Amino acid sequence: MARVTVLATAVVLAFLTAALVKEVAAKKWTVGDNKFWNPNINYTIWAQGKHFYLDDWLYFVYERNQYNVIEVNETNYISCNSNNPIANWSRGAGRDLVHLNETRHYYLISGNGGGCYGGMKLAVLVKKPPPPPAAAPSKIKNSASRTFTVSGLALQFVIPVAVFAAIGTMQLW
Ligand SMILES: *[C@@H]1O[C@H](CO)[C@@H](O)[C@H](O)[C@H]1NC(C)=O
Ligand SMILES: *[C@@H]1O[C@H](CO)[C@@H](O)[C@H](O)[C@H]1NC(C)=O
Ligand SMILES: *[C@@H]1O[C@H](CO)[C@@H](O)[C@H](O)[C@H]1NC(C)=O
Ligand SMILES: *[C@@H]1O[C@H](CO)[C@@H](O)[C@H](O)[C@H]1NC(C)=O
């Protein structure tokens, strides 16, 4: 009876922890950090050294009456031309989320009021998430999927927690 309880506790904890860690894994980047989406910021420098992975988000915060977030191709990114947009990510509130759901380059500019000429242009390369950490079980070593990374991380949390729960439950019995 006690053993069943321990097992059930461990399974439930495994699911809860996996869900929790998965949520944390996709990153939401606030573009420009505390300077947000504004002119006179070099977003090439902002993006330097950052790794953007599939299913991350870019969060643009800006003055909604002056700027916007328009996705263009590389040519139009270089020339600040927003007349042939690939996508208009502006929703009107000056708070826009761009879901990076494809592994490719994204070119985002502000097409309003010369924002792009003032430096409001961001290019990011979205990559596949890195392979799971070495500590993960060996049977998943062929996969680069973030789901498996999560499992690897989850185990690191779940095992100590499950042991702790098991000790607690056994004392009850
Ligand atoms: C932004 O920084 C990059 C990298 O240092 C540089 O190549 C580029 O010229 C800068 N852009 C502007 C508008 O200063
Ligand atoms: C971007 O789109 C323009 C048309 O707006 C086109 O002339 C140009 O070749 C495209 N550039 C790339 C890199 O696809
Ligand atoms: C982008 O979409 C928003 C919300 O639908 C709209 O208000 C805005 O005019 C659009 N901007 C462009 C440049 O199409
Ligand atoms: C990514 O999102 C865009 C815009 O929401 C959508 O048009 C596109 O089909 C999505 N791509 C994939 C691979 O799901």
Query: Coil, strand or helix: which one is 11?
Result: helix
How far apart are the CA of 28 and the centre of ligand 4, in A? 17
CA distance linking residue 142 with residue 94, whole number of Å: 42
Per-residue pLDDT at 131: 82
Q: Where are the CATH 2.60.40.420 domain residues in the chain?
A: 28-127
Q: Which ligand is nearest to the CA of 64?
A: 3
Q: Which ligand is nearest to the CA of 121?
A: 1
Per-residue pLDDT at 138: 52
Pocket of ligand 2 (CB under 6 A): 73-76, 84
CA distance linking residue 122 with residue 136, whole number of Å: 35
Residues of the chain with pLDDT > 90, as a percent, come to 58
CATH fold for domain 28-127: Immunoglobulin-like (2.60.40)
pLDDT tens digits for 139-157? 544 444 444 444 444 444 4
Per-residue pLDDT at 104: 98
**What pTM value is reported for the model?**
0.73
CA distance linking residue 35 with residue 159, whole number of Å: 41
pLDDT tens digits for 54-85? 999 999 999 999 999 999 999 999 999 999 99
